[in-house]
Amino acid sequence: MNEATTQTIARNSLYESDFLLWTQDTIAKLKARDFDHLDLENLLEEIEALGNSYRDELESRLETLIEHCLKRLCVDMPQEFNGWERTIREQRRRLKRRLQKTPSLKTVWDESLLEAFEFALETVRDDYPKYQFPDTWQFGRDIDTLLNTNFWE
């Protein structure tokens, strides 16, 4: 076994056995510009996963937002309106915050919205089979409309 193979096994072992220690070791090596000893494979994987987690958060929050908008619009249960509206406000706040911190998410908004609508529609139809829900989103799909319009007023 050569030295490079031994170092790779050691890096992977640390990555798999103690992730926090691996991150601290990676940060120390980056700060020291010790690029030759970086666990580049796992570092790239983690950076990619971080980016994907922001997109996943966008889609999840959009799904929850749309689900509660659909319930508020189509389910005649006035005793639930306040709770649904609170959830709508919370998801909107969190979506605005995420978009401020990660503006490039706006480039995947349309695609994420379509996917979120499909999942939200499936959920509300399963949860409320006696009610009718539209097959397509009936309102504006742009960020401003979805994050600022009370569709039920």
Q: Tell me, what's the pLDDT at 153?
A: 80
User: Cα Rg for the chain, rounded, in angstroms?
Assistant: 22
The string of pLDDT tens digits covering residues 43-100 is 999 999 988 899 999 999 999 999 999 999 999 999 999 999 999 999 999 999 999 9
d(CA 30, CA 77): 56
Q: What angle do CA 79, 58, 102 make, to 5 degrees?
A: 130
How much is the average pLDDT of 1-18?
Answer: 66
Q: Is the pLDDT of residue 2 over 90?
A: no
Say what the alpha-carbon torsion angle 124, 130, 133, 135 is, to the nearest 10 degrees: 90
Q: Largest Cα–Cα distance of the chain, in whole Å? A: 70
